[in-house]
Structure 1
């Protein structure tokens, strides 16, 4: 059974993006290259990635995929986008649009992942849905030395310490990398 891993970066005060869904705060942090150095190894263990519509639209715009579909960064990974809206497709990319609950698509996700893991790219509400369904195994968060006055929260759900176990802490440049295992709600 694949593990479901939420791997993301956040501000010190727990925001994924600002109010305009911008990640500009992230790209100016010194040492980002060092923090990303292990990411290719992480991706080798991923068989499926899942994201919400806002994350997908950000990647479309940020990578200018309408004009350059070859820049889709996840060629060898089945990509699921959960949305109730119709979104633009990327020619040649294995992007599967789905709507509905996590349990409804759970077997499709695990079948597509095979013996590799499922990466929850974001956003926080999508991750919360996986947590509520009992399908969130690990949270890996890189905390940046940035604070925002408001924005998109890391995980807009209540997960208490009885469900989270700190597994590791590591410094990577200016980032603190935290890894927690997540226990399903009883």
Structure 2
């Protein structure tokens, strides 16, 4: 009896994230049998590597504290899975009756609740000292960037919340990264 938007946005994003690790910068190196083997066409792998480089470049610009930035190369696998996981979860959500409707709950549309649920699962507060340790040692981006980074690349998020040029989370459509 739970709200589909909350389930697909919360656990759906996590499930999509884990599934798409199969095709992140590391998982993409293994074939269907789990063997380290290049199974890509030359053209497809070049396109994929270009997308991966875009993720590295984008996340490396995100400032965490003062002048401390995310290490885009270290976090690329997780960031790729976050971006793709949200896309997979959103596509699945849109196949549900609720995802195809527009019934508001507590004043929020289904799409708004979907994206709010993503933000809720990553909410955390940490001390600056721990965040500095995190940035230097954790292959995951800090929780707020596991929300903001992927959502800045998700066009339905813009539509759900009417994000426009000049808004802090706005990226021009041609700069948004679509992994799959």
TM range (shorter): under 0.3
Greater fraction of residues in strand: 1
- Larger RCO (CA within 8 A; separation ≥ 6): 1
TM-score, normalised by the number of residues in structure 1: 0.24
TM-score, normalised by the number of residues in structure 2: 0.24
Higher-Rg member (1/2): 2
